[in-house]
Each structure stands twice: as structure tokens, then as C-alpha cells.
Structure 1
Amino acid sequence: MDIAIKELIETETKYSDLLDQIHNHFQKPLATTHKHLRSEKEFDIIFAEIETIRMYSHSLLSDLSFHRTIRKTLLHPFHEFESVFCSLYHLSRSYILLASAMPLALITLSIARERTEFGQFINKQEHAHQIKLNELLLRPLSRVEEYVRMIEEIVKFTPRLHPDQPTLVRLVQKLIPLSQFLLQKRSKITKTTEMIRVFVNLRPQPREFLRLGREFVREGVVHYYEKEGANPKPKFIFLMNDVLLITRRVKAGIRSFTKAQTSEHFVLEILCPLQNITQIKVLEVPEEGEMSDLIPKNCFVMDSAKKSMMLQCEKQGEHRTWVDLIQEGMKKAKEKK
């Protein structure tokens, strides 16, 4: 049991320090010395519930440390944990609100970075302290899962007849649904994060591309046939749940004092909403005969009101995967419309 409690204290210390970084390097300056830079709306969206969770973490850490110290002076090997953990369940609302608001927070942060003094301040602080605000904001979403695992460990070492045992079991039972809810949200948030990654590397960066509900699905290299008889051109395509982007990948070398680095961006050439696609199909190739050598393999064709496109995949069968995913997106986009 001591090992489980020790792990809980050590990990909570690191977690609390992480939340303090958000407070000290971003929230506090933007609430005081750099208040003139912030937009109240952006500030509230990005840092929603973080302060409540931070204060609880400090309180939990203090209680855990106190109870562990008290236990060393007691003849009985266990001590009451109900007072330590009961508020954790009541904090569920803050974690639910944080997870629900996270996609909007990440999108707001990405937009702010490029276009406002508020965003420039965040970029400056990240560079100065070698941290990433978006990564710090995501950390609480996995902490509840860790709480459940460690409290379950404490339950294992708590005798059945001990007065704390029923309380700890009930606490785990209450926290498991919250942990599962956050796990589902994290999956959605990952898709939002990937969508933002695509946006950051696009040239130009259409601001309307960042929107709630848009999620990353797939990316890959294809060869694009612009018109019949023309040579195919290599393209890099990104599929979101409601739009397909056809881009040209550009790599550039960056020289620094320490080493050479390579960066890349993607020049946006076609942005095609899935609801505008009228037809998509696999280009079937005869297994034998003269035509089998003339028709490109691993291709699919898309038609919209403005143009028709043929895309060729590099791997066998990959074109069918693209068609299935795009058709699924088309169906959902039209249902939503």
C-alpha cells in the first residue's frame, strides 16, 4: 500500500507542477502584467476549468502528504482516505467541461497564434520555457485514468474489514465512467489535433478550415491525373470527415548554428467539400486483354459539379480504402446538410 500511495504522491507532484506551468507562464501574466494583450473570450475558452483543477491538485497533494505523515505515527497500518478522495468525484464536472471544451480551445489557440498579440505572447512564452501550451492543456484528460488505476492498487492492499475499503471501492466505481468518458473525448480531440496539424502546415492557411466538428481521417501520397492523357503529378492528399484537400508537398532545408534541419509544408491546390462530390468509384481494370495494360491501376475517380479527378495510389488496394472513407464522409455530410 505504501508503494501505491508513494506513486500517487509522486505523480501528483509532477501533475501539479505541470498545471503550475500553465498558471505561472500563461494564465497569471495574461491576468496581470499582460492583461492588455488578451481577449477575454479567447482567454476563457483556452483556460476553461484549468484553475479549478490546479487548485484541487494542490489540495489533494497536501492531503496525501499529510495523511502519509500521520500514518507513520500510528500503530494501525492504515488511515482514513475518504476525506482525501471524496472531492475528486465532485471535481468530475470540471473534467467533463474541460474535455468538452478542448476542441474549441485548441482551435482558438491555433487561430490566435498567427493573428493576435495574445497568440504572439503565448508563442514567446513557449519558446522561453521550452514548453507547448496545447500539450499542457491536454494532460488533465489522462490524469483521471491514472487516479483510477492507483486507487485500485490501494484497494487491493486495503483489508475487506477496514472502514476505508467500501469508500474506496465506491470511489473507483464512480470514477470509471468519468475515465471512460474522457477516453472517448481524447479520441475525438486527437482527430481535432491532427486537423490543426494539417492547418499549420498548409500554404495558404484558410482560416475557415479550422472549425468545430471537423476531424482528421487520413493522409497519403497519390498521383493526380489532371486531364486525360496527361502525365500524373505527385500530390499529397488530406481527408477530413467533411472535406478533401489536394496539395503539393514542398520540402525546405533550414540551416542553424548547430545542425541542418528539414521542414515541409503543403501548398493547397484543391479544397473539395465532400458534399459537393457527385460520384466516386474505383476504376476497374480488366485482369487480361489489351485494356489491362492501358488503364492505370490502383485508381479511383471523383466527379463534382466543377471537375472530374482521377487519383492513383501507390499501394495495391489502397484506392479502395480511400473510396470507402470518402463515401462514408459524403454520406455523413449529406445527412448533416
Structure 2
Amino acid sequence: VYVASLELVITHFETPLSEMAEKGGGFITHDDVKGIFSELKVIYLYNQIFLADLLQRKAEGEEKCWMENKYSDIISRITQYLKSYTAYYNNYNNSLATLSKCTERSKFREFLEQKENLAKEPLSSLLIRPIQRVPKYVLLLRDWMKHLPFTHPDYNPLKKAEDEMIAIARDLNERVRDSGVFMEILRVNYQLSPPILDFVQPHRRFVREAPLGFRPAPKAKIKSRWGILCNDVLLITRPPVSPSSFPSLSRGNPNQFASSRASTSVSRPSLPPSPKALTKERVYKREVMVLLKNSTAWSFPDDDPDPVRKREREMGFFAFTIDTPTKSFQLFSDSPEERQNWIQMLNLRGTSAESRIQSYRQVTHIKSSRRAQSVSAEVYGKI
């Protein structure tokens, strides 16, 4: 089944797209094809050989005593094949980014929809099959060894192969975890309006999203906004729902932010979103994009005597500022702890997304909740 799914990708998608790239015309380029499919054909060829070897050995072993049947030489070769998986894993984020870029082209979308209907499965779910395969190798081998006595000639070689597979699987699992964070970038990209050119980048990672207050000018009212933090940018957006009004200081409204200062949990989904699903309505209206390089986030101390800031704190608005080389932005959280969370994460610019996420987990005890949007909608009201 696995080999058949790889063959499906090659015959229905990679080969036709390669032929179209050869003809030219701007539909698809060779770089696009290489970016999407990477080492998939090599993985397919290796698994064809592996499957054929297993079937042949099984046929030969039917006439032998089970203690004489040996598969360890075939299984041991898998660890050599896994080098091609490493290259595929390394390219996976770029694969998703390239696929996302290509789906912006109408002719590519038409091609994809036609082929996915024939394959009865989205290309994105087929591309993740090799990602899911390595852990299955480990589980299958472990289950196999449960039925082998220590005295079997295959036991020690298979145990060595298992140890090597586990080491490779652990390394690849870290890469997959990072890919799960990257998939959130695809989601954010297709929910932004207006879209940001080249927002999807292999290096960019999603960190969190949560309600924020935003003051667009020094004397302006505080607006209810939705912050989306990546490892190199902060997006300040207008939520898709009509959130309850961020309390205006001029009106003296004592209501505070949503009690749940939410972050989106970052976990690896079993399947990436299909391009068809990604082309849904864009729901976040982008207002400001803050580049975090050479920026600094800070706040005044809570005992600051300034009457305006004191009044804001009494009403539950805890301000912090992001200074960039060209402009400053004033934002608000609903507690000193949440404000400090934002400041710490914003000042981790230049580090990996995983470092930002780990830092967030260390500085907050708030459980992640995907219901943050609905919670904020109930509390904020109309702007």
C-alpha cells in the first residue's frame, strides 16, 4: 500500500508536472517540481527494491525451517535507505511552501483539483506519507522481534538495526515537530487579507496568537486586535468576528480583556492542510506587520507615577511598547504576567521558533486553547 501511494504521487503528479515544466510557459518550473517532491522518487525506488527483496525472501523461506529464515540483511539495508528520508524531511517545509506558492496560480489549482479527484486523495496528504513511515518501521521491527527467541540468528542483527532506526527516527521527529509549526504559517497566510507577498518562507515559524490592545497613535483610543506572533514578525490584525469592544479609556469602561490569555497550542497534525482547504476565505484583516529584527519590547514599571498609565493599569490595561528602527508601537495586555510573556517572546528575535515556544511554556501556566477567538468575541464586543 505504501509503495503504491508513492507510485501514485509520481505518476499522477510529479511526472506530469515535470513534463509541463519542460515545455515551459510559466505554469510550473523545474525548481517548483524539485521543491515540492524532493527525494520522493528515490524513496520510491528504494522501497520498490525493499519490497521485492522481502517478497522473494518470504517465498524462499516457505520451504525452510523458521529458525533458518533470515531477514536481517534486508532490514539492515533500510538504515542506508533512510538517508534519502533525511533529505526529504529536511526539504519538507520548503515542499509545503512551494506547494502553497504554486496554488496561487489558477492553472496549477485546476491541475491539482483534477489529479486529486482521480487519486481520491489530496497531494498534501500523499506528501506526508514518507514523514509518517519511519516511526512505522521502528514499530514493525519491534513487534517482529517480540516473536524471535534470543537464540535466533536474526536476533542480534535486527536489534542493531532497531537501535539505528530509533536514533534516526528521533532526529527526524524533531524535524517533523518543526514542520508542524510551519504548517500554522500556511494557515495564517491563507487567513490574511490583504495577503502578504512571500509571507510563507521556509525559515518562518508560527509561535502564538492571542488578543491584544493596540493604540495606533499617541492619543488614539485603544482598539481590540488579534496578535499573531512568528519567529521574525508580529502581525496586528482585526479579528474575523465582531469582537466585543475593547474598553475605551475615554469612556471609563472597567471591562478587561478575555480572562483566557490564549496561545495556540503547537502540535504536529497528522496531515497538512490541502491546498483546496487552504484557499478558503481570508478572515483576518491585516493592519500592521512589525519586523522583529533590531526591535526591542519594553514597558514602564508598575509603580510608574504617570497618571495616564496609572489609570490604564487600574482599568486592566497593561501597556508595553515595541521600538523598531523606524517606528514605535504601543500594545496592551490584560495582566502584568501576560505583558511580560509578550515582552520576553518579542525580545527573543533571531532565535528559532522552538526556542520561542519553549520560553513561552516556561513563563506561563495558562493552558493553550484554540477557543481563544470565541472567548475574545464574547468579551470584546463591537469596535
Q: Same fold (TM over 0.5)?
A: yes
1:25 corresponding residue in structure 2? 12
5 Å-filtered alignment, 1:195-234, equals 195-234=185-224
CA distance in 2, matches of 1:331, 1:250: 30
- Which residue of the partner structure matches residue 57 of structure 1? 47
* Equivalent residue runs for 1:120-269 within 5 Å: 120-126=110-116, 129-250=119-240, 264-269=282-287
Which one of 284, 290, 293 corresponds to residue 275 of structure 1?
293
Q: Distance in 1 between matches of 2:304 and 2:63?
A: 82
- 1:44: Cα distance to partner? 1.6
Is the CA contact 1:114–1:120 (under 8 Å) kept in the aligned structure 2?
Answer: no
Take 1:150 and 1:198, find their aligned partners in 2: how far apart are those partners? Answer: 37
Q: TM-score, normalised by structure 1?
A: 0.79
Asked if the contact 1:237–1:247 (Cα under 8 Å) also holds between the matched residues in 2, the reply is: yes
Residue type matched to 1:235 in 2?
A: R
SS of structure 2 residue aligned to 1:328:
coil
- Structure 1 position 74, deviation (Å): 4.1
Partner Cα distance (1:310, 1:222) in 2: 10
Moved more, 68-77 or 140-149: 68-77
What amino acid is the match of 2:14? Q
Give the number of equivalent residue pairs: 310
Task: Please tell me whether the aligned partners of residues 216 and 330 of structure 2 are also in contact (alpha carbons under 8 angstroms).
Answer: yes
Question: Residues 220 and 330 of structure 1: is their aligned pair in 2 closer, same or farther, counting only changes over 3 Å?
Answer: same
Segment of structure 1 superposing worse, 162-171 or 65-74: 65-74
Amino acid at match of 1:55: L
Supply the distance in 2 between the matched residues of 1:69 and 1:148 (Cα, whole angstroms).
Answer: 24
Pair 1:285 & 2:302 matched: yes
Task: Give per-residue Cα distances to partners, 1:77-129, cap 9 Å, x unaligned.
Answer: 66211243133112122111111112222111111110363454224433565
1:106 equivalent among 87, 96, 107: 96
C-alpha separation in 2, matches of 1:188 and 1:71: 43
Pair 1:30–1:264, CA change in 2 (3 A): closer
1:289 to 1:222, Cα distance in 2 relative to 1, 3 A: closer
Q: Does structure 2 conserve the Cα–Cα contact (< 8 Å) formed by 1:251 and 1:264?
A: no
More helix by share: 1
AA of the residue aligned to 2:9 = I
Of structures 1 and 2, the one with the larger relative CO (CA 8 A, separation 6+) is: 2
Any conservation in 1 of the 2:210–2:226 contact (CA below 8 Å)?
yes
For residues 39 and 251 of structure 1, do their structure 2 counterparts lie closer, same or farther at Cα, with a shift above 3 Å needed?
A: farther
After superposition, the Cα gap between the structure-2 partners of 1:307 and 1:60, relative to the gap in structure 1 and judged at 3 Å, is: same
Structure 1 range deviating more: 229-238 or 265-274? 229-238
Segment of structure 1 superposing worse, 74-83 or 205-214: 74-83
2:342 aligned residue (322, 334, 337) = 322
Structure 2 residue matching 1:57: 3-state secondary structure: helix
- Rounded to whole Å, the distance in 2 between the matches of 1:305 and 1:130 is 51
**What is the Cα deviation at residue 134 of structure 1?**
2.5
SS at match of 2:141: helix
Distance 1:35 1:274, change over 3 A: same
Map Cα deviations across residues 22-68 of structure 1 (whole Å, 9 max, x no partner).
Answer: 22431233345896443212112211111222233344344445555
TM-score by length of 2: 0.71
> Does the 8 A contact of 1:113 with 1:123 survive in 2?
no
Matched AA of 2:170: Q
CA shift at 1:330, angstroms?
5.6
Asked whether the equivalents of residues 144 and 179 of structure 1 are also in contact (C-alpha less than 8 Å), the reply is yes
Residues 160-190 of structure 1, C-alpha deviations (whole Å, 9 max, x = no match): 1211112101111222221112111112222
Q: 2:319 aligns with which of 294, 299, 308?
A: 299
Counterparts of 2:301 and 2:317, CA distance in 1: 8
The share of aligned pairs that are identical, in percent, is 24
CA RMSD of aligned residues (A): 3.2
